[in-house]
Amino acid sequence: MIAIPSIASVISQRNNLSDTLAFRTSERINETSRFKNKYKRSKENKTRIENKIYSRRNVIKPPFDSVVNPNHNYPIGFFIANNGSVEDVCTASVIHTENGNIGLIAAHCLLDDNGNPWNLSFLSFSPGYDYGTNGPLGAIPVVDIAMPNYYNINRNKFDYALVRFEFNHGGSTLQDYTGALGWRFDIGNGEPTSVYGYPDRGNFENCVHDGEHLCKWQGITEKVTSKYIYVISNFSDGFGASGGPLISQYDTKTNLGYAYAVIRGNLDGYDNTSVGSIWNEIVFLDLLYRITHNIIIY
């Protein structure tokens, strides 16, 4: 689909049994202390994050015009995981953040076939990619990922993630070059929507479906709150379009709009219906805080 990564033995003898027991007791105390301190730090980090998140509720982040080439934005691009023997393709997009190097993608695009995060060195992103040629900025490395902690519990509900790119050209961030999609959490039912991706199948309009051309679909989405999804009827996204943004108020002149979900795949049992997970605002802002502050929550 179109979106990381000794056991020592102690040999006891009768004449030094007391020393060994003393060592093991001390080791247990030290391990317990380290665990408590680690747990305490995790709780403190979680509290700071929650305080930060709750102070920024109802965020609507507007699109960001390229500073380098105004009104010439290309925030959507080709996301690839390649370890030399396996290659997975998805679609990702640059979103407007204070950091400037943050991308949006489906969570499942960041996992290999065994369900483990890809090694980050295998991941890259090429904004503005077109058939057979990298985009204007080439292939940009991925240096961090942030997936919902609940993803493994409910993969249908939380199939979205953020990534951070390694990019700094003369002090300019990636979004300075590509522009960036705005994002919001208040999109309801019946929203006119544009969807972009690199499908190798599916039924995108006027698309060769070869997995290397950026294709577009336009239509109306249905919000199904009980299922935590946006539904696109009579539309099959195909492999390679996973992670592609659902965009409200898309402007063809600037190539920008508001992302509010990403393509997850087809609805179970319905090959001609595609879906995207509804973002939980707290979870999403948690991801953003973690990806920009290098915080890991255990």
Please answer whether residues 198 and 176 qualify as being in contact, where contact means their C-beta atoms are separated by less than 8 angstroms. no
Q: Which residues pair with 117 in a beta bridge?
A: 111
Q: What would the pLDDT profile of 73-94 be if each residue is shown by its tens digit? A: 999 999 999 988 888 999 999 9
**What's the confidence (pLDDT) of residue 239?**
86
Residue keyed to tokens 């991941």? 123
**What's the confidence (pLDDT) of residue 87?**
87
CA 71 – CA 63 distance, rounded (Å): 11
**Whole-prediction pTM value?**
0.80
**What's the confidence (pLDDT) of residue 17?**
34
Closest-CA residue to 274 (of 193, 202, 200): 202
Domain boundaries along the sequence of the chain = 182-277
Biggest alpha carbon–alpha carbon distance for the chain: 83
CA 243 – CA 197 distance, rounded (Å): 8
Q: Is 108 exposed, middle or buried (0-12, 13-18, 19+ CB in 10 A)?
A: buried
- Indicate the class that CATH gives domain 182-277: mainly beta
Q: Spell out the per-residue pLDDT of the chain, length 298, in tens.
A: 333 233 222 223 333 333 333 333 333 334 333 433 443 444 445 445 445 544 456 789 999 999 998 888 999 999 999 988 888 999 999 999 999 999 999 999 999 989 999 999 999 999 999 887 789 999 999 999 999 999 989 988 999 999 999 999 999 999 999 999 999 999 999 999 999 999 998 999 899 999 999 999 999 999 999 999 999 999 999 889 999 999 999 999 999 999 999 999 988 777 789 999 999 999 999 999 999 987 655 3
CA 26 – CA 181 distance, rounded (Å): 54
Torsion of CA 259, 263, 269, 271, to 10 degrees: 110
Q: In angstroms, what CA-CA distances link 38 with 33, 237, 289, 296? A: 8, 43, 20, 11
**What's the confidence (pLDDT) of residue 48?**
52
Residue keyed to tokens 């077109």? 130
Closest-CA residue to 128 (of 143, 139, 114): 139
Cβ neighbours of 294 (radius 10 Å): 10
**What's the confidence (pLDDT) of residue 28?**
36
